[in-house]
Amino acid sequence: KLRQILFGNTVQVFSSDWTKAYFRFHDPFSDLAFALEVGKGGARSIQMAVQGCIIKYLLFTRKGKDCNFLSLCATSKQGQKHALAAALAGILWAAGAARKATICLVTEDTYVAPTPDYSGDGFTERLQLFELLEKEATEKFIYDHVQCFKGEGSHGVILFLYSLIFSRTFERLQKDLDVSTTHLLRPNAGGFLCRQAVLNMILTGRASPHVFNGYQKGKSQETLCGVLTRSDVGYLQWHKDTSEDDRLSQV
C-alpha cells in the first residue's frame, strides 16, 4: 500500500536524490542558522514546506525566547533540534486529525522480503512504526530520535514522508485524493517530484490535490478537491516553465 500510494505501483523505488535527502541545518549562530540546506531533486519541495513550519515555530511558537527576525540568526544547535522536532510533530499531528501520529524509523530487523511484485530498497523493509497519542509525546519522541531525520545517510526526508502517510492513514488519503491524483509522486527526469497533495498535506494536514478553495468541477464534470482548511503557513510558488499546460495555479 505504501508504494502504491506513492508511485502508483509496487516496483518503483526512490531515486538517489531522495535517498540522500535529510533535514540538515546551516551552521548554528549564523545568518542562516534557522534554514535547512536544500539540494536538487524532488525531495526539496518537502524540505521547503517543512522550512516554513520551522520558521513559524521559531518566530511565533517557541517559549522563553525573543521571537523576531534577528533571533533567527541566534538559533543554537539545540534550538535547531527543538525547531525540527516541533515542526515535524506539528505536521504529523495535523495529518493524524489531532488524534494520533505515526512515526517510522529504520531498525536492524527486516520485516518484508522482496518479491517479483516488490523491489527492495534496503531500508523500507526494515521500517518499524511507533504510534503516539499526544502531540507533546510526538514532539518528545522525534526530539529523542531527531538524528534519524537530520543525520547524513538517515533517509530523513523519506522517513518523514512515510510517517506523514501513516499518520494520515490510507483510508483518509483515499478520501482526500480525486481522479486527477491517484498517487503522491510523479516521475520526472529520472527521479520523482511531489504532487500538490503532498505539500497540502504538510501545510494543512489534508492531502488536497489542488490549491483552490473547496470543490470544483473538472472538464469532464468530475469533482476536483481543493483546500478545505486554512493553513498557518501560506504559499510561495515559483516556476520557470510558463507553458500552457503547466501555468501557475491561482491560490
- Convert the pLDDT of each residue in 26-68 to its tens digit: 999 999 999 999 988 899 999 999 999 999 999 988 876 667 7
pLDDT, tens digit (0-9, with 9 covering 90-100), for 11-34: 889 999 999 999 999 999 999 999
Kindly list the distances between the CA atom of residue 82 and the CA atoms of 34, 73, 104, 143, in Å, as whole numbers in the listed order. Answer: 11, 15, 19, 7
- Distance in angstroms (rounded) separating the CA atoms of residues 140 and 92: 13
Enumerate the domain spans of the chain. Answer: 2-246
pLDDT band at residue 245 under the 50/70/90 scheme: very low
- Secondary structure (3-state) at 242: coil
- Distance in angstroms (rounded) separating the CA atoms of residues 142 and 103: 8
Handedness of CA 185, 188, 192, 198 (dihedral sign): negative
- Integer distance in angstroms from the first to the last C-alpha of the chain? 31
- Distance in angstroms (rounded) separating the CA atoms of residues 185 and 124: 17
Does residue 116 have a pLDDT over 80?
no
Q: Which amino acid is at 215?
A: Y
pLDDT, tens digit (0-9, with 9 covering 90-100), for 182-207: 999 999 888 899 999 999 999 999 99
**Assigned C-alpha cell, 58:** 521559531
- Distance in angstroms (rounded) separating the CA atoms of residues 163 and 87: 13
